[in-house]
Amino acid sequence: MPRYSQVLFDLDGTLIDSAPAILASYRDAFASTGHQPVIAIDAGIVGPPLLETLRMLAGTRDAAVIDALAAGFKASYDSSGYLRTAAYAGVDAMLRRLGAAGCTLSIATNKRLLPTRLILEHLGWSEHFAAVYALDLFEPRLPDKAAMIARLLQDRGIDRADAVYVGDRGEDGESADANQLPFIAATWGYGSLEAGEMAPHWRAVASPAALADEILGEA
């Protein structure tokens, strides 16, 4: 039997390298609206929800500015930008191995639901996941990742003793903690946690194969 029969995954920086596509669409959004970002559009901004990132990049909370930038981003990313997304090496084999071992897999991501589903379909992964949750899956929109994980656990009737959350950022670990879930940090992504950022009770793995070993109790 697997150590964890229910595996909840973050998406960006954990399963997929979405940085090139996301950064290109942020640049398109600023170019199309004539606004200038106040900080660099680089891989360090990838991970938080869209509106939060746009406020940070634009240096303003002005609703008209943020709405225009969001529209520009979505027009770029949802039409063709998402196609530049790549799976990290070894992730496809890891997902197949976990599924074959009887694990039920789910997604809990800050990414909007539409591009999440487009990317899963593009990579041929839709069949791997029993549930795909995003902040905008519900109305009103869920406030944060911790609330989203809580809703997923509740909706799917998942026993916390059977579950684990896998991500690449401190927010992911904190969201797991808020739901009394163990957390495994994927250190191959752009949100990789440094040793000093790891809580003592979190675990880190360096490859998708090592992650599968940890989840299946073969590490």
Would you give the distance in Å from CA 143 to the centre of its chain?
15
Report the Cα–Cα distance between both ends of the chain, in Å, rounded.
Answer: 14
Give the integer Cα–Cα distance in Å for 60 and 69. 12
- Do the Cβ atoms of 101 and 3 come closer than 8 Å? no
For the annotated catalytic residues, the residue numbers are: 10
CB neighbours of residue 209 within 10 Å: 15
Dihedral sign of CA atoms 55, 59, 64, 68 in order: negative
